[in-house]
Structure 1
């Protein structure tokens, strides 16, 4: 059962082959699995690593399908239920607000019960709930069902990326998480195709049903992932120290201090002296990310439909191309994050997106709307790669789930619940989304400046070198 492990059980060293007697009881159980043994040895990349990456990518793909389909069908839902823009915004914000609970609950559970099982459960719930949305007879039922879908799927913001960060070698972590995040773009593109074909021909209800059916394929893939060696060893370390303390056995100062923090995981740990700087950096990055995306990502279809007079079919196919362009931006950002540094990956994509988004807002040319739109998606979506990598790696294993959940829950509330009030207020005051959209390049430039000044560089570092 011996294997080359990423860290000694309960310790901090890497690439040490422990004697079987040094392996904790929980890890001894997991070592019976070939998949677990494959990821416990990070000296080589195996099929199991790619299996985990695929599982995470599928989750982000469905998150992209979910978010974009609901954005694309917004004009159709508003029309069917005879809603005003503020009424639709209020319903959307209710569902987003309830969905915030999912951002925290799923990672909180992952810190207690492990990563792998929850990966399969949350995608299964998404698959079961999408048909409920499609069958909604009233807007109130639509909002309730949409809230349940959001609660289920919001676990994607943390679960899969944590498992990738805890199983893939440090030298590839930025690229793999960014490419996984880029699967969101393919999901968004597929959502555009689904809406362009299904919604245009048979209505928005059919378009909403399709992702739920496709998601059934992901359940098996996720259910067969191994557990995170980092999480397993943390549980063994807690059990070992707890038994020693209960029986009055000698415990090192390092183990005692670690146990006092790891035994009862809660929000208060985000504000301890050793984690507060990471918490503030992660909140800055996450809140900027959601405010930037929440405006344009949520309202672009309505803007193109009402102010640029694009048909449902055209803006749906625009989303297909927009998502594909964003995929390459995420891939570049991930490559830069690993080869040059996290901050460079952030800054290059943020500034590129800000320039072309500004040009897109000011143009009236139909051709330039397409060209500039595809150009700004490269950076606008690309910076999400380093953003997701940073929040997945910056916290210690003992609270990685809780911390990710709390940070993204706050960011979700700020960017997707509070900030839309500003967006719609500007639209109502000016009669156009142009001014609201112009706030976003400003956000992107300010975020790039903040990243340069405050974000630490973690490229190539083992997770335990970043924080324990």
Structure 2
């Protein structure tokens, strides 16, 4: 009698998910998350046009209106930190939908504001939703994307930001100048995310890694099976599982493993908010967290300091309000090719080198903007700044979720974003006095120096391109 063959080890659901090719469900997840990201960018971008018009319509000093932008970023700082903790507790999809609902309703209400004080309060509430959404959405996409294209998928997700910012520029250019209440109609359009929250809640899957960690194995199995049964992109209509097995040299589709297949969840995974926060500063994660927070802080300071005030800065330098909106729209178009370049380079150069290179490019572009004099030089330097700065954002969002395990992934991403939002609070407040002190040249010279510091921080980050998340 022959000896029985040993049973083949069960394959964990996360391994099955990571082994899949890109399927239509991957694209649906990326697009669904990206639309939410687009609305986020549109809302943040609109406030720059609102401020520029309110300076004229309400006759409020720019320094006072800078608090409107900072109130939104204060809300984003709180939302990012709390949203990350909440997403590690109740799930990525639930928090994603909730954030869309919160900031969509608050943006619509902002259109009815009759004073700076009311607008301040509503922008804070808007920020709560905006801040929580971004790290949660990027983590959700990162946890589903196959490792070989994970960074590229997150950069593509981030590229929806450019589309939203361009839409904000179009609304600012076409709607805001229509009359004294143009800014109200612009903010009313920003209420669309409240409706989209229903789509997110019903149409996007929950993270398999989160479900496994919470012991919800039946739900995790259903999600993985749905991705395996989805058609692969560009493979003659075969399902993802068929393409995966064919690539492994086995055309037979194995039966799904039992629902208690092993998962990549450590037994000592932190389960409380305090433990998750402490894990970010454990010996193995301390250096990464410090470098990540430095990069998030410096990138936020320079990006929001420059782009939130750009229409107002151009107007203050002698351009008409409509002309400044037109220049801002043109400059914003440079964001899309920046994302495209970063999406290619994060999987060839790696996350760290791409991030550092784009931050150095941002520093050079900011320096050129500081000395620009004619319209052509202003637009050219602005396009370069858009290209490099937004490419850096794409690489930063790609690397952030990869630095932490599942149990603290959105906590780590949320707190990094929250620390960055502190800089985005300070930046709008710092712009008016810096400009009064030394003009646009000094202002963008400061931004250039801060970008150099960000590049140094990026070089201290670990490289995780192509590695599994757990």
Task: Output the TM-score relative to the length of structure 2.
Answer: 0.82
Give the alignment partner of residue 418 of structure 1, picking from 421, 426, 439.
Answer: 426
- Counterparts in 2 of 1:189 and 1:6: CA distance versus 1, 3 Å: farther
Give the alignment partner of residue 79 of structure 2, picking from 87, 91, 102.
Answer: 102
Task: Give the corresponding residue for 2:413.
Answer: 404
The answer to whether residue 213 in structure 2 is matched with residue 204 in structure 1 is no
Task: Give the corresponding residue for 1:291.
Answer: 301
The answer to whether residue 12 in structure 2 is matched with residue 8 in structure 1 is yes
- Counterparts in 2 of 1:339 and 1:445: CA distance versus 1, 3 Å: same
On the 8 A contact 1:175/1:331 being kept in 2, the answer is no
Deviation at 1:429, TM superposition (A): 2.6
Aligned-residue RMSD, C-alpha: 2.6
- Gap regions ≥5 residues in structure 2: 1-8, 218-262
On the 8 A contact 1:322/1:377 being kept in 2, the answer is yes
On the 8 A contact 2:315/2:324 being kept in 1, the answer is yes
On the 8 A contact 2:355/2:458 being kept in 1, the answer is yes
Note the 1:36-115 alignment, pairs <5 A. Answer: 40=17, 42-115=19-92
Aligned-partner Cα distance in 2 for 1:381–1:198: 25
The answer to whether residue 424 in structure 2 is matched with residue 445 in structure 1 is no
On the 8 A contact 1:120/1:219 being kept in 2, the answer is yes
Task: Give the corresponding residue for 1:280.
Answer: 290
The answer to whether residue 237 in structure 2 is matched with residue 236 in structure 1 is no
Task: Give the corresponding residue for 1:320.
Answer: 329
Deviation at 1:357, TM superposition (A): 2.5
Deviation at 1:369, TM superposition (A): 1.4
Give the alignment partner of residue 399 of structure 2, picking from 364, 387, 390.
Answer: 390
Task: Give the corresponding residue for 1:220.
Answer: 199
Deviation at 1:259, TM superposition (A): 3.5
On the 8 A contact 2:69/2:428 being kept in 1, the answer is no
Question: What SS does the aligned partner of 2:204 have?
Answer: coil
Aligned-partner Cα distance in 1 for 2:202–2:95: 9
Aligned-partner Cα distance in 2 for 1:321–1:54: 25
On the 8 A contact 1:42/1:168 being kept in 2, the answer is no
Deviation at 1:360, TM superposition (A): 2.2
The one-character-per-residue Cα deviations of 1:279-298 (angstroms, maximum 9, x if unpaired) are: 11221221121112121022
Aligned-partner Cα distance in 1 for 2:196–2:462: 38
Note the 1:59-208 alignment, pairs <5 A. Answer: 59-202=36-179, 203-208=182-187
Number of residue pairs the alignment of both structures matches = 415
- Gap regions ≥5 residues in structure 1: 16-39, 239-254
Deviation at 1:387, TM superposition (A): 0.6
Task: Output the TM-score relative to the length of structure 1.
Answer: 0.82
Deviation at 1:237, TM superposition (A): 9.2
Give the alignment partner of residue 302 of structure 1, picking from 312, 315, 320.
Answer: 312
On the 8 A contact 1:120/1:223 being kept in 2, the answer is no
Aligned-partner Cα distance in 2 for 1:43–1:399: 25
